[in-house]
Amino acid sequence: MNRIKEVLDEKGIKQTWLAEKLGKSYNMVNSYAQNRQQPRLEVLYEIAKILDVNPKDLLKEELND
């Protein structure tokens, strides 16, 4: 699971802007933000760089009960 949508919301950044910066379609970025698809590790690092956050800030820890 990722926190891309939460970080975008926190920073007031639109998915369309991120898609343009990444060189990916809006649909692809939206699927990342909605956790329907997870970005490859190198894409996750690129997103973190664009958003000026630590890559770990884009990840959610899943708690297994």
Note whether residue 24 is domain-resident. Answer: yes
The mean pLDDT value for 36-49 works out to 97
**Residue 61 binned pLDDT confidence (cut-offs 50, 70, 90):** confident
Q: Domain range holding 46?
A: 4-55
Residue 41 amino acid letter: L
The total number of structural domains that make up the chain: 1
pLDDT value for 62: 72
Note whether residue 20 is domain-resident. Answer: yes
**pLDDT score of 65 more than 80:** no
Please give the backbone phi and psi of residue 14, each rounded to the nearest 5 degrees, phi first: -90, 150
Note whether residue 62 is domain-resident. Answer: no
Residue 6 backbone zone (phi > 0: left; psi -120 to 50: alpha; other: beta): alpha
Note whether residue 65 is domain-resident. Answer: no
Note whether residue 18 is domain-resident. Answer: yes
The mean pLDDT value for 10-21 works out to 98
Note whether residue 28 is domain-resident. Answer: yes
Q: What angle do the packed helices 41-51 and 15-22 form, to 10 degrees?
A: 120
Note whether residue 17 is domain-resident. Answer: yes
Percent of the chain with pLDDT over 90: 89
Where residue 50 sits, what CATH number does that domain have? 1.10.260.40
